[in-house]
Structure 1
Amino acid sequence: MSAKTCLTLALCGLAMADLAPRQTQAPTTTTAQAQVTAITGCHLHASDLYCFAGTAEYKIKTTVTATTSLPAQYTDCHSHGASFYCVDESGEDVQAESESGSEETEETHEHEEEEETTTTNEHCHFHAGVEHCTGGSEEESSSSGSSSGSSSSSSCTTTSRDYNIGLRVGLLFVILATSSLGVFGPILMQRFFQKKLNLLFVGLKQFGTGIILSTAFIHLYTHASMMFSNDCVGELEYEGVTSAIVMAGIFLSFLVEYLGHRIVQAKIRSEAALSTQEKSKALISSEVVSITVMEAGILFHSLLIGLTLVVAGDSFFLTLFVVILFHQVFEGLALGTRIATIGTRDDPELHPVESSGVLSPIESKHAQAESSSETSETVPIGLSMKKKLLLASCFAFITPIGMAIGIGVLKQFNGNDKSTLIAIGTLDALSAGMLVWVGLVEMWAADWVTGAHGRKAELADANAITTCVAFFGLVSGLVIMSVLGKWA
């Protein structure tokens, strides 16, 4: 082949190579991300926040708690070198990481979603300054407020929060007003409309019975169990400590009432000739002992309610406040109706008291003769208005006092401290035991079956209308206070 031919072939080859299509480099991730201006559709996977830009999913590198509201969108997206950022609602840059290039496969992501489906349904609330989250896992977790609700990341040290002090001080007086309305209302109504509101008071008394029992089981017993099961308390050597303290509360209530009744009976026996008025006063004294036991359990509980309301974080404070507002009204009604009706029964069955428990025929005739000779005496209607209002005032002021204590120690209070959790759990459990005794024995059983304080059960042979009203009130109290237990 000649040199001219070789040169011609070489020139043709170069021309063909220049005409061949060139392969361009694929666009980089940074270039693609730079085209995204905003990401929306933000949602949670476990404690991680993800948002969408079209069909592409981005992981937002920020801390989101279960009580934090999710952002609607991130705007003004831009790149800094190889990193991708968007601007949040406060104007701060937040790094976003595209999930398209991650090593996580779609199957793995879906499997992780299945495991954490209930996390988005978490319900979080505060008890003693500790954020409790339920519904996201099999066990309730406790968070200090800065974590995502996982007990493994909770801290037992004081949680730093910003509190709206002015709001708490103002709402203290609102709680005082509503507590007073609940507890003083029945007493004043009984004083001025005694004959016209008998049926209403029957319903209110049974409504109060339901409130007391639901408070004991749904609120106090449950809260005590939560305190003792907190990770910061550690492992308890005796697992039944909550139930044991509740039983101690029941026993203490029984002991106080039993000793009180024995003292009253001893006073009656010490008088050979006891008038009807004196017998009535003795029975009223016995009734006051029972009311005092009930009020003691309520006061312990209300003091803790005021404290735990104040130390709750601002994200949940107003919700908890509204719930406790209703709680105080209903509990005040429960106590107020019992105080109002002390010794006010129109048909007291005063039973003569004897040392052996059985009256002899001669003693029985003597008692009947004494009773008939004193029919003209006026039986006292019970406690004076001043004493009733004094009993009611203790309840009206105790929750605001608890709130005032909470405001005073707000910056130092540590709801995760072991001694604090044990103290609150113990008081809750003791209060639960006291209210269980009063609710079941002195209220429910005494009103419906057994009777108490020298009188028969007022609903044992009541007419159909009265029985229906009482039954409706009882069930309403049980249900309403149990529903409130979802938030408080």
Structure 2
Amino acid sequence: MIDAAICDGDGCGPPDADDIFFHLRVASIFIILVTSSFGAIFPIIAAQGRWRVHPLVFEFVKFFGSGVIIATAFIHLLAPAFESLSNPCLAAGWDDYPWAPAMAMLAVFALFLVELVAYRWGTAKMTALGLSAHAFSDTQAAGMSAAHGPEPPRTTAPNDEETSVATSKKAFAAPHSHAVHADGSEDTGATVLAQLVGVAILEFGVVFHSVLIGLTLAVDPDFKILFIVIIFHQMFEGLGLGARLAYLKLPPKYRWMRLAGGILYGLTTPIGIAAGLGVRHTYAPDSATASIVSGIFDSMSAGILLYTGLVELLAHEFLFNPKIHQISNERLTFMCCCMLLGAGLMALLGRWA
């Protein structure tokens, strides 16, 4: 039985909205719009060569973003999901089973099956078009993930890669390349489908998380501290997503999707804040309904980002990437440090948000 006094008191009923920091909350819509959009769009624009950026910056952003995504899953999604689904305002039954990790596990297996089916369907489609699925596999590094894809055959010596900015950018992009042929053409069957599925899944995970963050920021009484933390949180998470979007090797008719993904991410938290401000007199973040919704979305998003971060970013970019086996120890150490820095900073932000 749940104590009625608990649910009738502070935290379970409608909030007492006194409009504290209201003007600053409105301003936060535009501030977070700029910072989160910058984080997501900067890697996309920079990768297209429109800004002169040192190749080490690209590598830093890429692996820093991988760490951010993994820490977001553990600290900013899975932990809050446990808290939401153990809210004393929930009906009996929610505390009889560990629903948060169960739904995260469900998301992991669902994601695996979606990618498996999409990849097999795309490969079958290529075969039907007269493109050899066996030859397609030969152009890809064995074991590379469907969402992030394999690298093309190596055409330059190891030292040549590090002698020019252009070649270094190419090397940075390599793990995300998909069946790029010598004439510059690209397969548009399984490869495009696999990339779109992978990035859509990653985008889905961070978008719902960002909307919930915006709702919380709009009504949380500890606004100032949370506001500062979320600025960095969303910018770092945007860098992680933007680094994945930046090097999708898509045919010309699909390339708008990279920028569209970055713009969508930048809009989600401001939309959540605006919605929260609109319902601030009726929306209770600790109510039973809000706790269930946020707990389910956080759990599912955690599973999505865990699968993406551990399987596709760590395993396939470090363990199963042939290029990693050929680089120097110094460069490998730099990559690992960037990843650990991203994870560490996001984990530290979990102290406040």
Q: TM-score, structure 2 length as denominator?
A: 0.78
Contact 1:257 1:293 in 2 (8 A): no
Indicate how the Cα distance of structure 1 residues 182 and 195 shifts in structure 2: closer, same or farther if over 3 A, else same. closer
Letter in 2 for 1:248: L
> Structure 1 residue 473: deviation in Å?
0.7
Q: 1:362 aligns to what?
A: none
Contact 1:187 1:336 in 2 (8 A): yes
> Structure 1 residue 472: deviation in Å?
1.1
Q: 1:104 aligns to what?
A: none
Q: 2:61 aligns to what?
A: 204
> Structure 1 residue 218: deviation in Å?
0.7
Q: Secondary structure at the match of 2:324?
A: coil
Q: 2:272 aligns with which of 398, 402, 411?
A: 402
Letter in 1 for 2:13: T
5 Å matches for 1:283-298?
283-298=191-206
Letter in 2 for 1:268: M
> Whose RCO is larger (CA < 8 A, sep 6+)?
2
Indicate how the Cα distance of structure 1 residues 295 and 180 shifts in structure 2: closer, same or farther if over 3 A, else same. same
More strand by share: 1
Q: 1:336 aligns to what?
A: 242
Give me the whole-angstrom Cα distance separating, in 1, the residues matched to 2:340 and 2:126: 38
Deviation readout 1:429-470 (Å, 9 max, x if unpaired): 0100100010011111110012xxxxx454233223321221
Indicate how the Cα distance of structure 1 residues 153 and 386 shifts in structure 2: closer, same or farther if over 3 A, else same. closer
Matched, 1:221 2:78: yes
Contact 2:119 2:190 in 1 (8 A): no
Indicate how the Cα distance of structure 1 residues 416 and 237 shifts in structure 2: closer, same or farther if over 3 A, else same. closer
Once superposed, what is the RMSD of the aligned Cα atoms?
A: 2.5
Contact 1:203 1:472 in 2 (8 A): no
Q: 1:250 aligns with which of 108, 112, 126?
A: 108
Indicate how the Cα distance of structure 1 residues 291 and 197 shifts in structure 2: closer, same or farther if over 3 A, else same. farther
Q: 2:336 aligns with which of 471, 477, 485?
A: 471
Contact 2:85 2:291 in 1 (8 A): yes
Q: 2:145 aligns to what?
A: none
Structure 2: gaps (5+ residues): 1-5, 137-180
Contact 2:123 2:189 in 1 (8 A): no
Q: 2:352 aligns to what?
A: 487
Q: 1:18 aligns to what?
A: none
Indicate how the Cα distance of structure 1 residues 385 and 244 shifts in structure 2: closer, same or farther if over 3 A, else same. same
5 Å matches for 1:289-438?
289-313=197-221, 316-343=222-249, 385-438=255-308
Q: TM-score, structure 1 length as denominator?
A: 0.57
Indicate how the Cα distance of structure 1 residues 298 and 383 shifts in structure 2: closer, same or farther if over 3 A, else same. farther
Indicate how the Cα distance of structure 1 residues 167 and 434 shifts in structure 2: closer, same or farther if over 3 A, else same. same
Matched, 1:269 2:175: no
Contact 2:46 2:52 in 1 (8 A): no
Letter in 2 for 1:219: H
Indicate how the Cα distance of structure 1 residues 179 and 223 shifts in structure 2: closer, same or farther if over 3 A, else same. same
Contact 2:67 2:340 in 1 (8 A): yes
Q: 1:105 aligns to what?
A: none
Q: Is the deviation greater in 184-193 or in 319-328?
A: 184-193
> Structure 1 residue 262: deviation in Å?
1.6
Give me the whole-angstrom Cα distance separating, in 1, the residues matched to 2:335 and 2:216: 33
More helix by share: 2
Contact 1:212 1:435 in 2 (8 A): yes
> Structure 1 residue 392: deviation in Å?
1.0
Matched, 1:160 2:16: yes
Q: 1:440 aligns with which of 293, 297, 310?
A: 310
> Structure 1 residue 202: deviation in Å?
2.1
Q: Secondary structure at the match of 2:325?
A: coil
Matched, 1:233 2:90: yes
Q: Secondary structure at the match of 2:57?
A: helix
Letter in 2 for 1:487: W
Indicate how the Cα distance of structure 1 residues 281 and 464 shifts in structure 2: closer, same or farther if over 3 A, else same. farther
> Structure 1 residue 237: deviation in Å?
5.1
> Structure 1 residue 258: deviation in Å?
1.5
Structure (1 or 2) with the larger CA radius of gyration = 1
Give me the whole-angstrom Cα distance separating, in 1, the residues matched to 2:30 and 2:72: 23
> Structure 1 residue 304: deviation in Å?
0.5
Indicate how the Cα distance of structure 1 residues 218 and 151 shifts in structure 2: closer, same or farther if over 3 A, else same. farther
Q: 1:170 aligns with which of 24, 27, 32?
A: 27
Give me the whole-angstrom Cα distance separating, in 2, the residues matched to 1:173 and 1:194: 24
Indicate how the Cα distance of structure 1 residues 464 and 194 shifts in structure 2: closer, same or farther if over 3 A, else same. farther
Structure 1: gaps (5+ residues): 1-149, 344-379, 451-455
Indicate how the Cα distance of structure 1 residues 195 and 153 shifts in structure 2: closer, same or farther if over 3 A, else same. closer
Give me the whole-angstrom Cα distance separating, in 2, the residues matched to 1:280 and 1:271: 11
Deviation readout 1:409-448 (Å, 9 max, x if unpaired): 0111122321221111111101001000100111111100
5 Å matches for 1:109-148?
none
